[in-house]
Structure 1
Amino acid sequence: MDWKKIRRAICGAAAAVAVCFTAAGMNTKPVYAADMGAVYGIFEHGVGWSAYHGDQTAERAGNGTYVTAIRASLSGQPEGVSGTLSYQVNLSGSGWLSWQENMAETGTIETGMPLEAIRMELTGQLKDHYDVYYSVFQNGSWTAPVKNGETAGTEGQGLRVDGIWVTVTEKDAAAPEGPKNGGIDPTRPMVALTFDDGPSKYTERILNSLEANGGRATFFMVGNRVASYASTVKRMADLGCETNSHTWAHTYLTNMSEGQILQSLNQTRDAIVAAGGNAPKGVRPPGGKINDASKAVLAKAGMPSIVWSVDTLDWKTRNAQKTIDTVLSQVKDGDIVLMHDLYEQSAIAAETLIPELTKRGYQLVTVSEMAELRGGMAAGHSYGHFR
């Protein structure tokens, strides 16, 4: 049962207020904010800080690296409800470090010593109404989720933490399943199909083909379109697709101030989460236009910029066969393919490309999945492929 949706239905417009009243009007209780969840990042040895990731995101270090520090906080915390997310790490050679909160860094970004285990807990009034569950990727697999101060990971046996996963749930709700192990073979070729400017009435056709062929894609959505296609956005997330940002109104980042960029990203994130999607892991700058100033803003927002290596020009040709021919003649392992789910001809092309690429041996993965296996992504940096 989706308790966040139930909260929205019960509290409606009152979700922005600190309390909901019972029918008798006598008692109050804290409102569970619709987008309440964890936000966190990892420091990858030799790479740097990852982008910030939202609740239930399985954040892994890239091949050849590992986690040496973390930072975390909460988003969507109800007004008037005290407490925060606290976290503690076991650093190899140093043992358990002191508890931290509010995005304070813990671990090391200098010595290269790996983390061996983590603990997390909620404080204040939050701990009476929520549980925090978390898992680490260690020794080739995700550990079973633990909660509320319990230890995730094995300390003292030379095992390192290679990823973390965190989620906040309603108090005493059913325990979440946690991140899934396996699914992608790092030795086989992979491609990230990406779709801009949606969602639209044609997006479901792309999702149908992905589901039928066991693939996933990344959708860079225009925020002001999301609410009209909420069920489509939820289905994206349910299928394991990535629900990313293409700004609120498709405005060039290079034409916006820092405040305008941050507002656009926040609005889009909130719309995606409210529709049932996951918080964006990256931003596609409209038109691919990005400069040093806008990269600096994305760094503050904890977001990487995702561009592309294969441009189908489907928005211009509006011709399915030309789109198919462009992809099949250019595609290579590690490519990020640019398409648009706003157009019917693009959906028609995708219905051919998805099974054909799969037949040719490509794994259809999300941008973040490919990045995790090939060096990771850092906030404020721009990525067009992962080879």
Structure 2
Amino acid sequence: MKSPARMILATGCALGLLSAPTAAWSAEQPRPAATTTPKPAAKPSAKAKSVDCTKVKCIALTFDDGPGKYADKLLDTLKKHDAKATFFLEGQYVKARPAFAKRMVVEGHDIGNHSYTHPKFTETSAEKIREELQKTQDVVKQATGKYPTTIRPPYGLLDDDTRVIATEMKMPIVLWNGGSRDWATRNEKAIYDEVLKNARRDGVILMHDWVAQTVTVMPKLLTELKKRGYHVVAVSSLPGTKSLKPGEVYPAGSEKDGDLSTDSPTADQNASAESPSDGS
């Protein structure tokens, strides 16, 4: 085990990044060799609605550890409410539920990399961190036709090795500034109240699409957020995301917020932080 040079909480996702010269996220990932008859890329069925979050009140709901077994129901709700989200995917569950991951991309949501098997990066070698992230990049690309463009480390923990590898992979790191504690309470009212308590303009909220109560309460929550004037958008629509550099942490200053530990499953080592298997 190694001592982390620094531990910070990360949560929730996102979009294309960049190497230094460009201003939009556009990670250059290795691409498969071209074939003589390439298959055309699937066209999104729901183009992301243009929302200027510098002019209107926005909030980003982010979902970790998926695709969870209830992701299809969540996607139905998001589509019905014309809302976009950010999904931080685990490679092992993308492999188990590739259709859900593909649908996230087709319907205009952001996707990020949440490792392959959910290890603690602060207790993992740099070589293993790199392997976890690259393996997830590859399986997500195979399932969806696109690479994840942001990283959220498992359990919200990262150190200098994680920053260095994120920079190498040309990906920013997305944390959060509000939680739902859905993994801990598994209670619809508690989740609803916690999200609304933490809602703020340009907020990034941590949730999980494998928690049944989160998915069940989502229609009511989206209705209330809209009533309060929020546009529910993907992280890539929030102010400042287009200029993020590889290895940079978003939201700005979130890595210094010690209170975020109460949102993360690491606050309770007995709580599952992973998307439960359903035999698929």
Q: Same fold (TM over 0.5)?
A: yes
CA contact (8 A) 1:336 1:385 kept: no
What displacement does 1:129 show?
4.8
Residue 280 (structure 1) shift: 0.6
* 1:370–1:386 CA contact under 8 A, matched in 2: no
CA change 1:209–1:75 in 2 (3 A) is: same
Which of the residues 58, 61, 74 maps onto 1:206? 74
Residue of structure 2 aligned with 1:366, choices 234, 256, 263: 234
Give me the whole-angstrom Cα distance separating, in 1, the residues matched to 2:220 and 2:104. Answer: 19
Whether 1:382 aligns to 2:265 is no
In structure 2, C-alpha distance between the alignment counterparts of 1:386 and 1:188, rounded to whole Å: 22
Q: Distance in 1 between matches of 2:195 and 2:202?
A: 13
> Which residue is 1:75 aligned to?
30
Does the CA-based 8 Å contact 1:288-1:307 persist in structure 2? yes
Judged with a 3 Å threshold, the aligned counterparts in structure 2 of structure 1 residues 375 and 229 are, in CA distance, closer, same or farther, namely closer
Q: What residue number does 1:184 align with? A: 51
Q: Is the 8 A contact 1:312 1:337 kept in 2?
A: yes
Query: Measured at CA, do residues 196 and 368 of structure 1 come closer, stay the same or move farther in structure 2, by a change above 3 Å?
Result: same
Q: Conserved in 1, the CA contact under 8 Å of 2:57 and 2:202?
A: yes
Which aligned pairs between 1:79-118 and structure 2 lie closer than 5 A? none
Q: Distance in 1 between matches of 2:148 and 2:18?
A: 13
- Matches of 1:261 and 1:237, distance apart in 2: 25
1:351 is displaced (CA, Å) by 2.7
Cα deviation, residue 330, structure 1: 2.1
* RMSD between aligned residues: 3.0
Larger Rg computed on CA atoms: 1
**Equivalence for 2:62:** 194
Q: 3-state DSSP class of the match of 2:18?
A: strand
Shift in Å at residue 385 of structure 1? 6.1
Q: Is the 8 A contact 2:61 2:85 kept in 1?
A: yes
Which of residues 238, 256, 268 is equivalent to 2:136?
268
TM-superposition CA deviations, 1:207-232 (whole Å, max 9, x none)? 11110011110011111011221111
- Whether the 8 Å contact between 2:156 and 2:175 is mirrored in structure 1 is yes
8 Å CA contact 2:29–2:147 kept in 1: the answer is no
1:53-73 superposed Cα distances (whole Å, 9 cap, x missing partner): 2xxxxxxxxxxxxxxxxxxx6
Between the aligned partners of 2:170 and 2:252, the Cα distance in structure 1 is 20
Alignment counterpart, residue 312 of structure 1, candidates 176, 180, 183: 180
Structure 1 residues 298-309: aligned runs within 5 Å: 298-309=166-177
When residues 211 and 380 of structure 1 are mapped into structure 2, their CA distance, relative to the original with a 3 A threshold, is: same
* Partners of 1:50 and 1:285 in 2: CA distance: 22
Q: What do the CA deviations read for 1:143-162 (whole angstroms, capped 9, x no partner)?
A: xxxxxxxxxxxxxxxxxxxx
SS of corresponding position for 1:336 = strand
Q: CA contact under 8 A between 2:176 and 2:251: conserved in structure 1?
A: yes
Give the whole-Å Cα distance in 2 for the aligned partners of 1:224 and 1:76. Answer: 21
Shift of 1:43: 3.7
Deviation at 1:50, TM superposition (A): 6.0
User: Whose helix proportion is higher, 1 or 2?
Assistant: 2
| Structure with the larger RCO, 1 or 2 (CA within 8 Å, 6+ apart) | 2
Which amino acid in structure 2 is aligned with residue 283 of structure 1?
A: I
Percent same amino acid at aligned positions?
30
Corresponding residue for 1:41? Answer: 18
Q: Distance in 2 between matches of 1:253 and 1:189?
A: 34
- List gaps (5 residues or longer) in structure 2: 1-15, 255-280
Query: How many residues end up aligned between the 2 structures?
Result: 237
Structure 1 CA distance for aligned equivalents of residues 56 and 83 of structure 2: 14
Q: Unmatched 5+ residue regions in structure 1?
A: 1-38, 54-72, 79-125, 131-169
State how far apart, in whole Å, the 1-side matches of 2:239 and 2:160 are: 22
Structure with more of its chain in strand, by fraction:
1
Aligned to 1:226: 94
